[in-house]
Structure 1
């Protein structure tokens, strides 16, 4: 399968008429028809329903269409960014992160790197599993997650352990307490992300399982914001890393747990290779931010990254 097949498919899906689609693509209709049939054979399913009145997308075709649009948009964005970098001689640095780390020191790292006038930053929200794959493929250069994953091509460093707290609907019976996991388990539990796994959801489930506590998982959400919205709707409770409490939202209260030893790590993932100039600069900023976190200080990045990259 080539990009041209995807582009042909999108035009045909937009027009739902092979003659008009061929005209838009400046090609004859018979070769376009062959290309679409080849695509269906390669995927292994019919993408279009054909009738005397024209074409219609099948259910699978509609799914493929929506995701193909995303793929082509990403390709076009990547090409445009590549051309911009080539024109300006910028150095590209990709950062992957799970949403729950974005309310602590990560923004300070980003600000520090943005002060470098020869760096183009790319921020990508990815689970830890996805970060490992993206690092190996070269799509990102550093990742921040919460899951330990053994991979020979990637090194992981635990920056620090972060307390776990509970997010409750406002007015919840446990609002003015420091509940135990046993007390929380009496209420419906909301987990995130739902996929891909393993993820923070498995870490949270493990906290209960290791203590022999049964839970009622009423809903799994793909995103942190969705999970918090469900909590605010009084659907259940959830567990979040402490820094998420900086995200203020109506209808939600955050309370510490009775067991202060319950934590989750913030893990930095990098490729196993000699660090580039940008990576050395990022590591210097990280060292300061981690030390500030451990000592209870949260200063800005002013004065942290004065060294040039090159």
Structure 2
């Protein structure tokens, strides 16, 4: 069985016609039919019911189709990742979520450039799920995200757990209570009746899902929440008095003349900072990027557990 047999079968399964599949594959119909017949003989089962119009897959054919799709996808990803690896010595493509770019990532990139001044860096704003897809397709070499997704081809390095804080307008009663030393922190229960601004609206899953899961894990549900396009929109609306939002602590310098940031009780609510790399990718560039990140963590006094690529 060869990959071309899988591609032929998938085309027939999706087009439900040998003629249409042959057109899609740019081959003639008779040899395509022979290839599928040979595949069925090799496996020992009938995959396609040829007596129906349009063609239908047998139960075994449905099973074979699902697995053939996965094999072809992994094959295509392997090809793309290998091609990307060939260009790895001259450039490094980095994916990031916006909240990390507003944190220390610019310093990490600047220091990396000092070590490798001749390496071209390409930056791509991608959410955590998109980073997984971009790594397996070869679009990026490393990603900095906040959500964990299981994928056998991607390794997740937990850099640290970053505390979350609540951003409220200066006129908000919680800001006034903090100013008067009547309040030093908040908890999620305090936010269930607030107008909560969540971001980013798309693509999903995103930080919105993570925040809503924090409520759900505590059997809480926000009564009023609005989805907005991005972090800066959320903070702008907070400054305008339109609601409150939740952000990582390293962002509390943003709009700090208009917005007050209040920590959560005991600092228990956190957002992970995750470095995503392809499994088994142990290049010196990635090792240096990770080491530079840890250097800056040490300088900032961040608590973290060191890992190796």
Identify unmatched segments of 5+ residues in structure 2.
1-86, 305-309
Aligned position for 2:119: 119
Question: What is the aligned counterpart of 1:197 among 195, 204, 210?
Answer: 204
Aligned position for 2:75: none
Question: What is the aligned counterpart of 1:180 among 178, 181, 187?
Answer: 187
Aligned position for 1:129: 129
Separation in 2 of the partners of 1:179 and 1:281?
38
Aligned position for 1:61: none
Aligned position for 1:96: 95
Offset of residue 251 of structure 1: 2.5
Separation in 1 of the partners of 2:226 and 2:281?
43
Separation in 1 of the partners of 2:303 and 2:276?
24
Separation in 1 of the partners of 2:137 and 2:160?
27
Separation in 2 of the partners of 1:294 and 1:154?
29
Offset of residue 179 of structure 1: 1.9
Separation in 1 of the partners of 2:194 and 2:301?
33
Equivalenced residues, count = 211
Aligned position for 2:261: 254
Is 1:167 equivalent to 2:167 in the alignment? Answer: yes
Aligned position for 1:234: 241
Question: Which stretch of structure 1 is more off in the superposition, 250-259 or 149-158?
Answer: 250-259
Separation in 1 of the partners of 2:221 and 2:266?
17
- Alignment deviations for residues 35-73 of structure 1 (CA, whole Å, 9 cap, x no partner): xxxxxxxxxxxxxxxxxxxxxxxxxxxxxxxxxxxxxxx
- TM-score, with structure 2 as normaliser: 0.63
Would the aligned equivalents of 2:199 and 2:229 in 1 still touch at CA under 8 Å?
Answer: yes
- Alignment deviations for residues 70-101 of structure 1 (CA, whole Å, 9 cap, x no partner): xxxxxxxxxxxxxxxx9xx9811111111111
Question: What is the aligned counterpart of 2:276 among 269, 276, 279?
Answer: 269
Offset of residue 226 of structure 1: 0.9
Offset of residue 104 of structure 1: 2.9
Instruction: Provide runs of 4+ in structure 1 moved above 6 Å.
Output: none
Separation in 1 of the partners of 2:249 and 2:97?
14
Separation in 1 of the partners of 2:146 and 2:303?
21
Say which SS state the counterpart of residue 236 (structure 1) adopts: coil
Identify unmatched segments of 5+ residues in structure 1.
1-85, 298-310
Is 1:108 equivalent to 2:107 in the alignment? Answer: yes
Say which SS state the counterpart of residue 122 (structure 1) adopts: strand
Alpha carbons of 1:296 and 1:104: their partners in 2 closer, same or farther (altered >3 Å)? farther
- TM-score, with structure 1 as normaliser: 0.63
Separation in 2 of the partners of 1:296 and 1:190?
29
Would the aligned equivalents of 1:93 and 1:140 in 2 still touch at CA under 8 Å?
Answer: yes
Would the aligned equivalents of 1:160 and 1:290 in 2 still touch at CA under 8 Å?
Answer: no
Alpha carbons of 1:283 and 1:184: their partners in 2 closer, same or farther (altered >3 Å)? same
In our comparison, the structure showing a higher alpha carbon Rg is 2
- Alignment deviations for residues 198-248 of structure 1 (CA, whole Å, 9 cap, x no partner): 211111111111212221343111211111112112111111110110223
- Alignment deviations for residues 115-147 of structure 1 (CA, whole Å, 9 cap, x no partner): 222111111111000111111111111111110
Alpha carbons of 1:136 and 1:293: their partners in 2 closer, same or farther (altered >3 Å)? farther
Separation in 2 of the partners of 1:110 and 1:219?
33
**How is 1:56-67 mapped onto 2 (pairs within 5 angstroms)?**
none
Aligned position for 1:220: 227
Separation in 1 of the partners of 2:207 and 2:273?
11
